[in-house]
Amino acid sequence: MNKSANKFEFPFIKKEKIAKNTYTFYFDRVHVERGLGKRGYAEDFDFIPGQYLKLYLQIENPDARGSSRYFTISSSPTDRKFLTITTKILKSSFKKKLHSLKKGEMVSFYGPLGFFTFNVNSKKPKIFLGGGIGITPYHSILTSLDYKKNKAKILLIVFFSLYKDVIFYEELKKIEKENPNIQIVYTLTRDTKDGFEIGRISEEMIRKYSPEFLDSEFFVVGSPVVEEELFDLVKKMGVSEEKIFKEHFSGY
């Protein structure tokens, strides 16, 4: 398995709207071109759940942020057919170009990158905390665990502002239903919905779903503000920093 960072090109296949202004973009993982232009196959590119890529687009007049962005891989490495990224589509020149990609158009990537990775063979209980689009690495991790029928005890708590912004809910709840060791909790901060908690992630919420949380390893992810908020929350609960794994995203 090759997990070292390299330059690749993937053909764009399709996009799927999964929430308001939020899309999953599919790239053909089978037909991948490597840095020297050689055509390869899925085994030429691999990654660990939780890693990310740098994506480059050909933009005639890019804005101040340029023509590249970092995206977590939202698909599982066990999906040998597609590689996906999931993001909100805003008004930047980059996002406009991403949204207008045509089927078969080649897109350049560099990766995989990042150390927010998960050992799917680990048996230690884990608590995943995140907000909004920060759920993407957890989607990759949980679909990998589901495929491998991993026995580790996992609790995911993720918050969204509004129900219309929620992503991956049905898919992850299906995984929860089929895996007794996996528990999925969504909470809304500015909305209400049956089956959802109310409010931001709090100590009370974590204790409710994991009374023995001190035995767990914690993963926190999100924007710099969200990552800092969750990291400080877990530390104040008495969890040592050695048991907290984090990664923030400066932009999408």
CATH superfamily name and code, 6-113: Translation factors (2.40.30.10)
Using alpha carbons, select from 90, 104, 166 the residue that is nearest to residue 130. Answer: 166
Confidence band, pLDDT 50/70/90 cuts, at residue 94 = very high
Q: pLDDT value at position 248? A: 64
Confidence band, pLDDT 50/70/90 cuts, at residue 34 = low
Considering the chain, what percentage of its residues have pLDDT values greater than 90? 71
Q: Where are the domains of the chain?
A: 6-113, 126-248
Confidence band, pLDDT 50/70/90 cuts, at residue 9 = very high
CA distance 72 to 35: 21
Q: Does domain 126-248 have CATH number 3.40.50.80?
A: yes
Tell whether the model's pLDDT for residue 65 goes beyond 80. Answer: yes
Query: E strand or H helix at 110, and its extent?
Result: strand 106-113
Q: pLDDT value at position 196? A: 98
Buried b (16+ CB within 10 A) or exposed e, 206-232: beeebeebeebbbbbbbbeebbebbbe
Q: pLDDT value at position 115? A: 76
